[in-house]
Structure 1
Amino acid sequence: MALGPVSWLWQGLSRWQQGRVVEAAEAELGRLEGWVGQQEAAARRLAARLTARLAETGGEALVQRPYGWLIGRGLVQRQACADRRCDDGTRLDTGTDCENCANVLHVRRAARIRVAAEVGQELPGLDDAARRQVVEERLQSQTAADAKRFVWRREEARVREAEREAARAAAQERADLKRQAAAVAATVRQALACEDCGQTGAGGLCEACGCRRETETLTVRAVQLVAARTLDPSASAVDVAALEVRVRVAIDRKVAAEWAEFLELSPAELEDDQERADLAAALTAHSTVQQITDQAETSAVAAFGRTDEAQAEADRAYRTEQGRRWFQHNPTGEAAVAAATKASTTARDRVAQHLLTVRLDQLREQATTVRPTGQTGAGSWTDRLPELAARTLGADTTGAVIA
C-alpha cells in the first residue's frame, strides 16, 4: 500500500536497491505509526507523500535515478517549519494543514509588508521594479541576520546543554563520593563496640542494650502517664519522685513475673548462651513495659475524659450534631442519636487527649531533681530480675500501674 504509487520506479531497481528501499520504507512507516497510531493509516500517509512528491517532480517518467530519488526525496520527511510533525506543510498526526507553517507564512508576509512600507517612506520616488528590488534586498539581509542569530542561539543552547551535562556529572560524582563515604562510615560504625555492655562489632549499640534503652523510655512515659492520672497539678517534684519509685517497683515486679514465666517454658535453651539470655530478658522486659504503657495511656485518657471540660465539649458536640438541618425533622430518631453519640465520643476523646498532653508537658517541665536516696538507674535485666522476683508489693501500687 505504501509503495504502490512508485510501482513503476520499483521495476528499475536492483534486488539490493529494492532491499534498501524496503528497509527505509519500513523505518518511515514505524515513525508515522508513532504519530497516527495505526499501521494502515501510516501506509496511507506514506503513499500520499510519494504521490505528492511524484507530482512535484512531474511524474515517474522524469525520475532519472529511481533509487536516489526514493531514498533521498520520496520517502524522507521534509519539515517546512520547526514542528517535528510537519511534512511539507501537512501535520503527520492529523493530516491537516500545519498551523505553524501558516504562522511562518503570516510572519513572512507581515515582514514583507513592513519592509515595503519602510522603503516607500524612505524612497518615495522609486518605480515599482526598483522598489521590489530594494524590498527583496532588505528581506534577504534580514533573513541572513535571522539565520546568524539562529546559529548563535543554537550554539548557545549547545553550550548550556554541555554545562548542564557537566553539572549533572559533577553532582553524580559528588553523590557517588557521598555514598562511598557513608558506606565507609557504616562499616566503621558497625565495627564499634556496644556503648553499654562492650560487645564487639555491635555498631555502637547491641540489640539487647538498644532494647533496654527503649524499655527505659517506655518506663519513663508510663510513670508520667500514671502521675498525670493520679496526681494533682499542684503536686510537687517530691510527690512525683515518690510516685515514680512506686511505679518503677510495680513495673519491675511485673517484668520479673513475666520473665519467670518465660523461663518455665524454655529454661534449657538459655543456659549455655548468655548473649541469647540477655536478649531474651531485654525483649521480655520491653514487651511487658510496652503493654503497661499502653494500658496506662488508655486509663489516663479515660480519666481525663471524665473531667468537666471533656464532658462539656461532648455535650456541645452532641447538641450540635443533633441540631443539624438533616436531623431537624426527627432529632431524637435512631440516625440522629447515633450520629450525635459518635460526635460526642470523638469530641470527648479529643479533649481528653489534649488535657493529657498539657498535663504531661507540665510534668516534663517540672525538674525532677529530687530523687530518693539509694535509687539506681536501669541496669541489666538479667542481673536485676532475680532480686525483683523476691520483692513484695502492695495491691494499691500494682493496681495503680496496671489499671
Structure 2
Amino acid sequence: MRDLFTALPDDPAPPLADGYLDRVLVRGRRSVRRRRIGTAAAWTAVVLAFAALLVPVVPQAERPAAPARRPSVPDHFAGYSTLTSTVERSAPGRAIAMYTYGNGELFNMFQPLVVGADKDTYRRVGAVEERDKPQSLLSPDGTRVLVGERRGETTDLLLVDLTTGDRRSIDLGASFEVRLLAWSPDGRYVALGAAVTDPSQGQPDSAEYDALRHGTLRLLDLSTGRSTAVPSVRSPFAAAFAPDGARVAVQSAQEVHLLDLLGTEQAVVPVGAGRGLVARAGWSADGRFLATVPWDGTAVEDGTFLTENAQVTFVPIAAGTPAPPPVADVVRLLGWRDPDHMIAATADAQGRLSLNELTLSSGDRRVLSRFDTGMTCEFHLQHCQVTDLQLATGLLADLGTRAAESADHGPWPWALRAVAALPLAGLVLLYFLLRRRRS
C-alpha cells in the first residue's frame, strides 16, 4: 500500500465546476424550505384535528327570534339521519312542524324532530329524549316546545326555546299525572289534564291514561307559571282553543265544554256517540264549528303510526248553523289556513304520508309536502314511520311550500367527530415517523 501511495502523482485536485458551490447552497436551502413547509402542514393538520374535537363544545351564538319571512314547509321532508343534532346544541330557530320519526321493530331508534319554518333545518329535541315516556306540544308560533311525562307523576314541565336552545322549568305546584292538551294562539295558556295518583291502584302504566280517565282540567299560565284547576270538567280527552284565544273547548265523555280563561263554563256542545274533538285544531278558523273524528272513548291518538285515514265531521257551536260536509280520508287534522281551508295529513293506499291543503267548499286537495317513509330506518332494515305530528298553527295562514334543499342536521356528535379526527391524527403521526426514518 505504501508503494501504491508513493506512485501516486502529486498533481492538485481538479477544480470544482463553475457555480458548483452556489448550486449546493441553493439545494440546501430548498431542503430547508421543504422541511419547514412539511412541518407547518403537519401542525396545521394537528390544529384542524383538535378544532374538529373542540367545536362541538363551543357554545352556539343565540339565534334571533322568528324572522319576518313567509313561513313554509319543504316540498318533501328529509329521510332519517343518525347524525341529527339536538335543539340544545344547535338551536334551529322557529319550526313549522314537530313529529316523531323512525321505527322500533328491531331497535328503538325514534327521533323527536322539529323542522325549520324558514330553511331545511332538522333537530332532535333533547328534552323529549331525556324523559321516560315523553309528551310534547309545539307552540303556535313555532318557537317553543313544552315537554311533559306520560308515565308517572311529575312536578314540572320543561319549556324549550327553539331560537336559543335554552330550557325553563315550569313548576306545577304539586305532583300530578299530566296529559298535555292544547296551546292557546297567543302562546300564553296551555290546557292540560291532571290527576293525582291513587296508591291503591299501584304504579300506573301510563300517567296520560290516568289523566284521561280520572283527571280534571287545568289551565296553565306560562307567563306566571300558575295553573288554575277547573274541577267541573273531569276526564278531559281533548282540547282546542278558539281562534281568538279567549275560550277553550274541552271534551269530556260525549260533550264538549266551552270555557273562558277563568274556567267559567259558557256552553256545552254534544258531539254524538263515537265522535271525539280533534286535538289542538278542533275549533274552526271562523269559530263556528268543532271538528270531530272517530273516538271509542278510551284511545289516545299520540304514539300511533299515522297511516289510517278517517272521516272528519263538523258540529255547529250555535244551533241552526249549517255544518260543512264531512271530509273523508284524513289521517290527522293539523290546523286551519282560513275558514274554508284546513291543513291535514293524509295517507295513500301504500301508507305514504303527505301534508295537504283541503278546501271545504269544493273538496279540492293540494299536496304541500311528503314524508319519506322509505326503508331508511334502523340501519335501512325498516320503513320509517311518523307519529305525534303537529304544526305551528299560528303560521298556517301564510304558509307556503319551498323546494327542499340539502338538509341541515346540525353539527356531528362529539364522539363521532373524535372518531373522524383519528384518521387525520394517524396520518400526521405517520408523516413524522417516515420523516424521522428518512433522516
**Category of TM-score, reference length = shorter chain:** under 0.3
Compute the TM-score of the two structures, normalised by the length of structure 2: 0.18
- Which protein has the bigger strand share? 2
Compute the TM-score of the two structures, normalised by the length of structure 1: 0.19
Max Rg structure: 1
* Higher RCO (CA < 8 A, seq sep 6+): 2
